[in-house]
Structure 1
């Protein structure tokens, strides 16, 4: 049984947790703070063209200008400064770089993808059934001037569902073009549904599924999406409890635990995940795995369990780019093959392109995974300036979500208006410089808040229910 939990805060902070057989499999986080998200379509204005790096910079009315690589295959070599252009985001902004955009517009559906770049029909590489391809070529009608790519899920539905989706996507594309003609400034033309839309398109399989949401808007969006989907048994539920959705279903700590770089294995071994400037490095250790008398058996079991857990952690934490795995040395080629097969099996349902290279002579395995969004760390953690950026702490914006949820949960059980919040001193400057934003972010506009700053406390919340407590902390009250 798969369960999807969709929690959106009043400030637009979206978190989606996916559980399968009570194990957290995926976590998606999205902040609505003026950032472009992959799949969105904008009308932009070319601000600069730099031939030396074959790149154009485009204003799409976000915090940073987007960038577009110029290549003859993309038909964008003749861009001029000041020109209006319709673009689609392929990668969100990351670090100091703005979002990456392309001139090609692709509109994804559940069963197909419509594109203005190529004409005709093509099929997902995972579709090998030639009789299915022949049937589709006979029954699918493609509007003029566009191309269609048939997705893997199309094999499970009648042709009329695919035709219906193509017609719907073509209507959306025509509306985007018409709207862009009359746009006077850079602005968003089409929202693909963000992280929620991506999850629905990629996770609705032919299986029993439960989806829990905490607001009417997302409930209606999912309900409308399900009308165009068949062969999926989905139970959609609007959560109306007083506690926050993820807290009610005991998901909050599981998400926060994704910060941990050490993950224990059932056999007693463990893996350690570290990020460098160039790549992620994962080390496998036997730890307390001493149950077997034979060393080679101990090593094999540890590596086998590590391979399964590494694949899960890469997907769960959305690690991408170059990933280097240092397995414990193995001599037996048959054991290496079993470990490699276990590692590959963990990415069978991954939507990001993954390439796994064979064992090197040093028992290292290299993985290249296409980036789709930021690693989960980037939403939860930030550099700690008190240790010159060598350490990490919980990101203030994410901590505000946690504090707000905890205050909400306490208020559900008792009528408390006064709260003492202890925060690590490393956050003091940022909180004091924008206290209004902090109070709003923790949902405490109708509360009386008392803040103290301590060392090595991260954060701690105490409800003040007695006058003696309030009197003791009155000098720390936020006005």
Structure 2
């Protein structure tokens, strides 16, 4: 059973996709962190970089946006008197101070500003409007050639001239009425945007992509979802209105308003699964486990047999663990929204047919992912390399922050190294003539290792320097924290 569970409060909106009670995808929108991908802004050129074939634009966000020349071509053709398929360099197209209307492709990340384009797209449930194109494209996930031809011919008959469309996966099996209704809606929305372009000023938002609930309805809610549960009455009626406009009336029977006392995420087991999705180790039903670690350059996934001792022989145990891992990894990537380069280290297999089967299972489960991904088969080192397009922020962004003790390394200094630091610092200050006492404030954890040998050593050492030594356990200090105080 596939379900969508939505929780709405004053601070955030969260949506969970459950497949057979397993949390598979998670979406979150917080009031203090507005999503900007898909928004259209009027920007002003802040800097042109010929060597990088790009420009920086001030669009009113904290960091300037980044525009490649190839993402400027449609704007050039439509608004800068350019010619089709122009190859003019960016310094011939833009000057500092020029105004350009852009759409955000990628959210700002770290020290990087947003990536923007002039290839505008306005998404609907079944179609995506490309206002400055004049062709029809079809989702590659629609495999049936007869259906692809039917959809293409149907849309070409009703689409306006000089406007293009992408037929989305959800359009499979839909009729002309669905398309007519959505074409009218999307074209009207684009005309509204065009009117705003002429009256807006740099930094203005000309078009804002749908907020989370409508995005989930547009991109996730389909005929294979048996139930959508939401705990907010106002949003419930907004969903009903949306379905009346874009979907079959039968879809309304799947919408349920949740009004129980227990939080909706507790009732459906979402919170407990979220906690597990933030851990590095993921246990498999067979007893094996994954170790998922993210670095600046890539995501690494290591598979281990763990508690799976097998029933037959080692090869069967390894194969069973790898097959289960191949099923679980795509779910974890979707749930954690991990992207970029991904390296999977399956347990070594001797037989090529086993490797092929594991790869096939991995590919089959990756097909469920709405986000584009690409697998490179087993390398000479026995690793699988794959990529996943970066869309939005990873789950960890919303629920984790850098540890103040380890600064993101996942490790802290050992007790032995900390004690060595303490001894070194005390030796340095022991030569100061104006002090009579050295006082060490120390955490309970560190004191357990310190007392006995080390405190006696320092006491004798300071006595030879004519100074006293005091050790004090500070309940406010944790881990291996300490503080050295000097008394006159």
Structure 1 length normalisation: TM-score?
0.77
Identify if the C-alpha distance between structure 1 residues 169 and 375 changes in structure 2 by more than 3 Å, giving closer, same or farther: same
Shift of 1:98: 1.8
- Other-structure match for 1:150: 167
Shift of 1:237: 2.3
Local SS of the residue matching 1:344: helix
Query: Is contact 2:45-2:98 (8 Å) kept?
Result: yes
Please list every run of 5 or more consecutive structure 2 residues that lacks an aligned counterpart in the other structure.
Answer: 77-89, 412-474, 480-488
Query: Is contact 2:233-2:257 (8 Å) kept?
Result: yes
- Range 270-279 or range 235-244, more displaced: 235-244
Q: Which residue, out of 404, 408, 425, partners 1:385?
A: 404
- Range 67-76 or range 171-180, more displaced: 67-76
Quote the Cα distance in structure 2 between the aligned partners of 1:271 and 1:225.
Answer: 40
Identify if the C-alpha distance between structure 1 residues 157 and 232 changes in structure 2 by more than 3 Å, giving closer, same or farther: farther
Shift of 1:208: 4.5
Query: Is contact 2:57-2:64 (8 Å) kept?
Result: yes
Identify if the C-alpha distance between structure 1 residues 247 and 266 changes in structure 2 by more than 3 Å, giving closer, same or farther: closer
Local SS of the residue matching 1:385: coil
- Other-structure match for 1:196: 213
- Other-structure match for 1:15: 14
Count how many residue pairs are aligned between Structure 1 and Structure 2. 397
Shift of 1:384: 1.6
- Other-structure match for 1:167: 184
Identify if the C-alpha distance between structure 1 residues 280 and 163 changes in structure 2 by more than 3 Å, giving closer, same or farther: same
1:276 and 2:275 aligned: no
- Other-structure match for 1:184: 201
Query: Is contact 1:36-1:99 (8 Å) kept?
Result: no
Quote the Cα distance in structure 2 between the aligned partners of 1:134 and 1:336.
Answer: 36
Quote the Cα distance in structure 1 between the aligned partners of 2:139 and 2:401.
Answer: 38
Query: Is contact 2:330-2:369 (8 Å) kept?
Result: no
Q: CA RMSD in A?
A: 2.4
Q: Which residue, out of 119, 126, 135, partners 1:104?
A: 119
Q: Which residue, out of 333, 342, 355, partners 1:314?
A: 333
1:332 and 2:351 aligned: yes
Quote the Cα distance in structure 1 between the aligned partners of 2:289 and 2:99.
Answer: 53
Local SS of the residue matching 1:223: helix
1:123 and 2:122 aligned: no
Quote the Cα distance in structure 1 between the aligned partners of 2:183 and 2:230.
Answer: 28
Quote the Cα distance in structure 1 between the aligned partners of 2:114 and 2:31.
Answer: 14
Identify if the C-alpha distance between structure 1 residues 217 and 189 changes in structure 2 by more than 3 Å, giving closer, same or farther: farther
Quote the Cα distance in structure 1 between the aligned partners of 2:322 and 2:6.
Answer: 34
Query: Is contact 1:176-1:189 (8 Å) kept?
Result: yes
Identify if the C-alpha distance between structure 1 residues 80 and 245 changes in structure 2 by more than 3 Å, giving closer, same or farther: farther
- Range 149-158 or range 244-253, more displaced: 244-253
Q: Which has the larger radius of gyration?
A: 2
**Counterparts of residues 437-456 of structure 1 (less than 5 Å):** 455=478
Shift of 1:134: 4.2
- Range 19-28 or range 181-190, more displaced: 181-190
Local SS of the residue matching 2:218: helix
- Other-structure match for 1:222: 239
1:259-297 Cα distance to aligned partner (Å, 9 max, x none): 111011111111100111210000110111113241111
Query: Is contact 1:359-1:365 (8 Å) kept?
Result: yes
- Other-structure match for 2:470: none
Quote the Cα distance in structure 2 between the aligned partners of 1:325 and 1:156.
Answer: 36
Identify if the C-alpha distance between structure 1 residues 129 and 290 changes in structure 2 by more than 3 Å, giving closer, same or farther: closer
Q: Which residue, out of 363, 385, 388, partners 1:366?
A: 385
Query: Is contact 1:206-1:232 (8 Å) kept?
Result: no
Identify if the C-alpha distance between structure 1 residues 128 and 300 changes in structure 2 by more than 3 Å, giving closer, same or farther: closer
Query: Is contact 1:92-1:100 (8 Å) kept?
Result: yes
Which aligned runs of 4 or more in structure 1 are off by greater than 6 angstroms? none
Query: Is contact 1:39-1:194 (8 Å) kept?
Result: no
Shift of 1:96: 1.4
Query: Is contact 2:378-2:384 (8 Å) kept?
Result: yes
Identify if the C-alpha distance between structure 1 residues 33 and 56 changes in structure 2 by more than 3 Å, giving closer, same or farther: farther
